[in-house]
Structure 1
Amino acid sequence: MKRWILAAVGLVALALPAAAQQKYRFAVVPKAMNNPFFDLARDGCQKRAKELGNVECIYKGPVEHEPATQAQIIQDFITQKVDGLAISVSDVPAATRVIKAAVDAGIPVITFDADAPGSARSAYVGTNNKDFGLALGEMLKTLRPDGGKYAMISGGPAAKNLAERVEGVREALKGSKWTEVAGSPTFCNDDVTLAVQQMQDLKTANADLSAIVPVGGWPMFAPEGFKGFANRYRKDMADGKFTLVVADTLKVQLELLKDDYANALVGQRPFEMGEKSMDTLLALKKGEKVPEIIYTGLDKVTKDNVGAMLKM
Structure 2
Amino acid sequence: MPNAIIRRPRPILLFMILLACSLALSGCFGGSNTNSRSSAEPQASAATGNAPARTFGIIYPMTHPFYETITRSAEEAAAEKGFRLIVKAPDEANQEQQIRMMETMIQQNVDGIAIDPVNGDALAPVIDKAVNSGIPVICFESDAPSSKRLAYIGTNNTLAGAKMGEALDKLLDGKGMILAETGMSRMKSLNDRLEGMLTYLNEHTDIQVLEVRYNEGSEDRALLNIEEMIDAHPHFDAFVGLDFVSGSASVLVWKAMGLTRYALTFGLTPEIREAIDNGQITTAMSQNEELWGGRIVARLAEAAEGKPLPLLDETGVAEVTR
- Tell me the SS of whatever aligns to 1:178: strand
Q: CA-atom RMSD, angstroms?
A: 1.9
- Whether 1:192 and 2:219 are equivalent positions in the alignment is yes
- Tell me the SS of whatever aligns to 1:149: strand
Q: Using the alignment, how far apart are the partners of 1:192 and 1:269 within structure 2?
A: 23
Same amino acid, percent of matched pairs: 25
Is the 1:220–1:252 contact (alpha carbons within 8 Å) kept by the matching residues of 2? no
Aligned CA distance change for structure 1 residues 209 and 230 (closer, same or farther; 3 Å): farther
1:232 aligns with one of 257, 262, 266: 257
Q: Using the alignment, how far apart are the partners of 1:113 and 1:147 within structure 2?
A: 31
- Whether 1:86 and 2:114 are equivalent positions in the alignment is yes
- Using the TM superposition, give the Cα deviation of residue 202 of structure 1 relative to its aligned residue in structure 2, in angstroms: 1.0
Q: Using the alignment, how far apart are the partners of 1:259 and 1:188 within structure 2?
A: 25
- The one-letter code matched in structure 2 to 1:284 is A
- Using the TM superposition, give the Cα deviation of residue 221 of structure 1 relative to its aligned residue in structure 2, in angstroms: 3.1
- Whether 1:67 and 2:95 are equivalent positions in the alignment is yes
Map of 2:9 onto structure 1: none
- Using the TM superposition, give the Cα deviation of residue 78 of structure 1 relative to its aligned residue in structure 2, in angstroms: 0.6
1:181 aligns with one of 202, 210, 227: 210
- Tell me the SS of whatever aligns to 1:252: helix
- Using the TM superposition, give the Cα deviation of residue 207 of structure 1 relative to its aligned residue in structure 2, in angstroms: 2.6
Map of 1:8 onto structure 2: none
Aligned CA distance change for structure 1 residues 23 and 37 (closer, same or farther; 3 Å): same
Aligned CA distance change for structure 1 residues 57 and 168 (closer, same or farther; 3 Å): same
Q: Using the alignment, how far apart are the partners of 2:95 and 2:85 within structure 1?
A: 22
Map of 2:273 onto structure 1: 254
Q: Using the alignment, how far apart are the partners of 1:121 and 1:146 within structure 2?
A: 40
- Using the TM superposition, give the Cα deviation of residue 190 of structure 1 relative to its aligned residue in structure 2, in angstroms: 1.8
- Using the TM superposition, give the Cα deviation of residue 151 of structure 1 relative to its aligned residue in structure 2, in angstroms: 2.2
Q: Using the alignment, how far apart are the partners of 2:75 and 2:196 within structure 1?
A: 32
Deviations 1:226-250 (A, max 9, x none): 334345253xx2xxxx321111111
- Specify every segment of 5 or more residues in structure 1 that has no aligned partner in the other structure, as ranges: 1-15, 304-312
- Tell me the SS of whatever aligns to 2:89: coil
1:120-269 maps to which residues of 2 (within 5 A)?
120-175=148-203, 176-182=205-211, 184=212, 186-222=213-249, 226-234=251-259, 237=260, 242-269=261-288
Deviations 1:235-292 (A, max 9, x none): xx2xxxx321111111110111111112111112223111101100100111111111
Aligned CA distance change for structure 1 residues 174 and 91 (closer, same or farther; 3 Å): same
1:270 aligns with one of 253, 267, 289: 289
- Tell me the SS of whatever aligns to 1:209: coil
Q: Using the alignment, how far apart are the partners of 1:215 and 1:247 within structure 2?
A: 6
- Tell me the SS of whatever aligns to 2:159: helix
Map of 1:29 onto structure 2: 59
Normalising by the residue count of structure 1, what TM-score does the alignment of the two structures yield? 0.83
